[in-house]
Structure 1
Amino acid sequence: MSREYRRSMPLLPMSMVMQLTELSARQIRYYEEHNLIEPVRSEGNRRMFSLDDVDSLLEIRELLEQGINMAGIKKVFDMKTNRVNKPNILSISDSELRTILRDEMQQARIMKKTSLRQGDLTRFTQKGK
């Protein structure tokens, strides 16, 4: 069972989440209405919260204490969601990276300047180590 799966399991009832987050039931329902958390409903239609939900509620409380309004909190959560769900668009092979670095170093040599990366690369090319 992966860590992500365990953290997303709905385990905690509203009363426990209220104690952990020091938020009222009304506040928690309000954040649910705004889709900042998504607790699962039990067969008896009771909200069950995951550890991820608790973390989100604590983050909401912290952002509110810093003076950020609900619109700002929604933007923060949207940015977080987009970053997690967005695949890494920039993908470069080793040979492409070597070509870029070689071109950069040749350009620096032509301009009679030291490449910014040259210092970083010397630790990999030093003899005797």
Structure 2
Amino acid sequence: MDKEIRRAMPVLPISTVMQLTNLTARQIRYYEEHHLIEPVRTEANRRMFSLNNIDELLEIQELLEQGINIAGIKKVFALKKEANKRTFRGVDIEELDFRSIVQDEMQHLSRINGH
């Protein structure tokens, strides 16, 4: 299984996230309300977090400690997200999709060239 896929898997409940980040449940919910993190909801409506979410929460803490407010943090996250996007034939794609498209295109070119 790819490392990025594992890091994106929502497997941690909020209680574990609180222990790992030293944040309160209220703080975590606040950051979710402001769309800084996006935990997955189970069928029972429980939040489940990924390792990527933990990284985002730790980054939020660091930015707040540097004096950046929530609006500034939103801009930082938006810039990072934009930097991680690529386009293929005019369509925005994420990094994992990009790799898949490149592999598909290489296979297609290989068939065309008779290799």
Question: What TM-score do the two structures reach when normalised by structure 2?
Answer: 0.73
Question: By percentage of residues, which structure has more strand?
Answer: 2
Which residue is equivalent to 1:71? 71
Q: Secondary structure at the match of 2:44?
A: coil
Shift of 1:25: 0.6
Provide the residue aligned with 2:42 in structure 1.
42
Counterpart amino acid of 1:21? T
Could you list the runs of 5+ residues in structure 1 that have no partner in the other structure? 89-129
- Cα distance per residue 1:17-39 (max 9 Å; x no partner): 00101111111111111111110
Which runs of 4 or more aligned residues in structure 1 lie more than 2 Å from their structure 2 counterparts after TM superposition? none
1:82 counterpart residue number: 82
Distance (Å, rounded) in 1 between the aligned partners of 2:75 and 2:41? 26
Number of aligned residue pairs? 88
The runs of 5 or more residues in structure 2 that have no matched partner are: 89-115
Q: Which residue of 2 aligns with 1:29?
A: 29
Q: Which amino acid aligns with 2:41?
A: R
Mean Cα deviation higher: 30-39 or 51-60 = 30-39
Partner of 1:2 in structure 2? Answer: 2
Measure, in 1, the Cα distance between the counterparts of 2:74 and 2:86.
18
The alignment-based identity, stated in percent, is 68
CA-CA distance at 1:42 after TM superposition? 1.2
What's the Cα RMSD here?
A: 1.2
Between structure 1 and structure 2, the one with the greater Rg is: 1
